[in-house]
A and B are shown apart, each in its own frame.
Chain A
Amino acid sequence: MDASPTSRAILSCSNMTCELDSVTGPLKILQDINFSIDTRRALGIVGESGAGKSMLVKAIMGIAPRGLRIAGKIELDGQDLSKLKPKDRRKLIGRRVGIVFQNPMTSLNPFVQIGQQIEEGGRIHLGLSHNEARRRAIELLNLVGIPDAADCYDYYPHQFSGGMKQRIMIAAALICEPDLLIADEATTALDVTVQKEVLDLLQNIQAERQMSMILVSHNLGVVAGRTDEILVLYGGNVVEYGPTAEVFRNPRHRYTEALLSAMPQMDQPAHTRLRTIPGQPPNLASRPKGCPFAPRCPAAQAICHDVMPDVSTGIEASHRFACHFPLSEISRLTPVEAAHVQ
């Protein structure tokens, strides 16, 4: 999937660092984040708890907690967001970026009919008239697969199931026809069959509307096969970033590799012992200098604890990772491929 010559970066982060003040001194929640998404591409952001995924999304959307200091550049379609006044920034993001959050139970206002909640973005950012907004909202409800959209327009959130609420959230995110859609753990709270449908829906919409998409998840399987690039976060740092297929086939950072191996596979026999990563995800209050993964890494040397690794590239220039002693370039067979090789 090559980026066509006319594509450009819809969102890019350059050397972004997010800090929060605390009694113990400034805490670096995110450090030196560099990535970009082109139009019509999908990016997956994966990481465990404490990696900073939600803070990254909030920083981009401008809804981070008040004390957060953001350094570096976040550019939306070439415009530097930090140079904008908060009001202008809100308008720009509201118009061009849509977001679907994790918990459908709490994202929708239980006291307002869903049709109105979908309309809202359109009325505010596009200045649509009531009729026009209603028309678009019903169109979107049909698109996301809500049956009898015109009737359901006046229903309240509690009358829908979790999966349908997420579909409604997607409709609300699309009303302004955004260029970028962010799904922040959007399917984590859903049943696995519903999750598949919602992810399929997102993928179809992305293709139809030629949008860019960011899928944030702690579940690697969710981003596999549905994204073009993947960004692996650990302890607030980008540890690996590159084309999804390449990263999964050929993980260079030991955390990525360990994460892949720690997941139970369905074709392993019962009681297979899983490879664990000793210790637990890092604590923000006591971040070591040097590589954040060093305390848990089986191959860590002295330098790993002291010096933050630079970014190196793999065979493909687009595959980047930050490790002093990365895994070698041997292709790692996926379980499916391995089964066929016998």
Chain B
Amino acid sequence: MTDIGNPLGLNPGPDAKLSEIVRAATPWSSKLRLSGGSVSDTVAAIFLVLLILVALFVDFIPGLVSPRLPYGDFSQLPDWSLNGLLGTDDIGRSIFSRVLYGARTSMMIVAISTTIALVAGLLLGMLAGYYRGYFERAVDLFANALAAMPSTLVVLAFVAVTGPSVITIIVVLGIFDIGTYARVAKAGVISQSNRDYVLAARAMGATDGRILLQEILPNLIPALTAVMPTLMAGLIITEGSLSFLGYGIPAPAPSWGGMIASSTDLLSRFPLLILGPVLAIVFTVYAFNTIGDYLAQRLNNRERES
């Protein structure tokens, strides 16, 4: 999967099996960009890379004005200057700058929430899958309960009680994804536990911990990476909805949802005010979902050949 040095996935070595040679020989593989993917997969991948770079280095973009201070007239139409690409909002701030800084906000939320969900989900899922029994049932119950809840409403309730703060939002959003990661990890562990190489490791005297960490965990990575982008896209949307409703990251921090919210009153007269944040959310979610599909498809192909 990280075959950057061999993007077409061709060139099976001299000991290649017949099936590998046959796959490499089929004609349509020559038209591909990303190994095994289509043009839109490549575009999505490039977009996400740019998004991450922006989130990290937006401060260093030369000529970009601050997202919090007004720099021009109110509600100007987009023009071809760097700061005016998407026009200005009702206070005169550069929408383009706010979108880029909003990317940082969104990426930060996605990164931290996903980390929380992944670590907790892996822990619960791997233990549930390896030891089964009552613990497995408890984890299943937990995951199903989380899945049954309307996450946006619950987060809303939380935030309404504790007040909007970055930490609350990130943690609660993270908790909601634990169930999915736990389920994927558990399924992976169950299917791997009966493979011969795990038995072989046990026959060598490996402890359970060693088996889980060194044998099984690396083989869970494909399944997890296939499911992560879709969950991340969901995080973006939920965060956007929260900010739109006013319960997200508190102003004046730039957030895409918040930008949409503050423009609602003026939409009838200045419809282009929401162009920036809407495009940002749409493209980001689309890119995450596309990559998620691509990885899931690659995972299926690998499973089939093993």
Q: Which residues of A contact B (CB under 8 A)?
A: 20-24, 27, 29, 50, 65-67, 283-286
**By the criterion CB–CB under 8 Å, are A65 and B22 in contact?**
yes
**By the criterion CB–CB under 8 Å, are B14 and A22 in contact?**
no
Residues of A within 8 A of B27 (CB): 66-67
Q: In the bound complex, what is the Cα–Cα distance between A50 and B17 (angstroms)?
A: 9
Residues of B within 8 A of A24 (CB): 14
A-B contact pairs, 25 of them (CB 8 A): A20-B22, A20-B25, A21-B25, A22-B12, A22-B25, A23-B11, A23-B12, A23-B24, A27-B21, A29-B18, A50-B18, A65-B25, A66-B26, A67-B22, A67-B25, A67-B26, A67-B27, A283-B14, A283-B15, A284-B18, A284-B21, A285-B14, A285-B15, A285-B16, A285-B21
Q: In the bound complex, what is the Cα–Cα distance between A27 and B10 (angstroms)?
A: 15
**By the criterion CB–CB under 8 Å, are B26 and A65 in contact?**
yes
Residue of A nearest to B16 (CB): A285
Q: In the bound complex, what is the Cα–Cα distance between A22 and B21 (angstroms)?
A: 6
B15, B18, B24 — which one has the most chain A CB atoms within 10 A of its CB? B18
Residues of B within 8 A of A50 (CB): 18
Residues of A within 8 A of B12 (CB): 22-23, 285
Q: In the bound complex, what is the Cα–Cα distance between A285 and B14 (angstroms)?
A: 6
Residue of A nearest to B8 (CB): A23
A119 nearest CB across to chain B (Å): 29
**By the criterion CB–CB under 8 Å, are B15 and A23 in contact?**
no
Residue of A nearest to B15 (CB): A283
**By the criterion CB–CB under 8 Å, are B25 and A286 in contact?**
no
Residues of B within 8 A of A285 (CB): 12, 14-16, 21
Beyond contacts A20-B21, A23-B10, A65-B25: 15 other A-B pairs, Cβ-Cβ < 8 A, are: A22-B12, A22-B24, A22-B25, A23-B24, A29-B18, A50-B18, A65-B26, A66-B26, A66-B27, A67-B26, A67-B27, A284-B18, A285-B12, A285-B15, A285-B16
| Interface size, B (range) | 10 to 19
Residues of A within 8 A of B24 (CB): 22-23
Map CB proximity to A onto B26-58 as digits: 1 under 8 Å, 0 otherwise. 110000000000000000000000000000000
A237 nearest CB across to chain B (Å): 16
Residue of A nearest to B26 (CB): A67
B12 nearest CB across to chain A (Å): 7
Residues of A within 8 A of B10 (CB): 23
Q: In the bound complex, what is the Cα–Cα distance between A110 and B27 (angstroms)?
A: 32
Residues of A within 8 A of B15 (CB): 283, 285
**By the criterion CB–CB under 8 Å, are B18 and A286 in contact?**
no
Residues of B within 8 A of A20 (CB): 21-22, 25
Residues of B within 8 A of A65 (CB): 22, 25-26
Residue of B nearest to A26 (CB): B25
Residues of A within 8 A of B22 (CB): 20, 65, 67
Q: In the bound complex, what is the Cα–Cα distance between A310 and B52 (angstroms)?
A: 66
A288 nearest CB across to chain B (Å): 13
**By the criterion CB–CB under 8 Å, are B11 and A286 in contact?**
no
Residues of A within 8 A of B26 (CB): 65-67
**By the criterion CB–CB under 8 Å, are A286 and B21 in contact?**
no
Q: In the bound complex, what is the Cα–Cα distance between A20 and B27 (angstroms)?
A: 11
Residues of B within 8 A of A284 (CB): 18, 21
Q: In the bound complex, what is the Cα–Cα distance between A157 and B11 (angstroms)?
A: 40
Q: In the bound complex, what is the Cα–Cα distance between A20 and B11 (angstroms)?
A: 14
Q: In the bound complex, what is the Cα–Cα distance between A67 and B25 (angstroms)?
A: 7
Residues of A within 8 A of B25 (CB): 20-22, 65, 67
**Which B115-174 residues have a C-beta within 8 angstroms of A?**
none
A55 nearest CB across to chain B (Å): 8
B137 nearest CB across to chain A (Å): 27
Residue of A nearest to B22 (CB): A65
Q: In the bound complex, what is the Cα–Cα distance between A23 and B15 (angstroms)?
A: 13
Q: In the bound complex, what is the Cα–Cα distance between A67 and B26 (angstroms)?
A: 6
Residue of B nearest to A49 (CB): B18
A20, A22, A29 — which one has the most chain B CB atoms within 10 A of its CB? A22
Q: In the bound complex, what is the Cα–Cα distance between A283 and B15 (angstroms)?
A: 7
Q: In the bound complex, what is the Cα–Cα distance between A50 and B27 (angstroms)?
A: 23
Q: In the bound complex, what is the Cα–Cα distance between A284 and B16 (angstroms)?
A: 8
B26 nearest CB across to chain A (Å): 5
A83 nearest CB across to chain B (Å): 24
Residues of B within 8 A of A23 (CB): 10-12, 24
| Closest A-B pairs by Cβ, 6 of them | A67-B25, A21-B25, A22-B21, A65-B22, A23-B11, A22-B25
B295 nearest CB across to chain A (Å): 26
B12, B22, B26, B27 — which one has the most chain A CB atoms within 10 A of its CB? B22
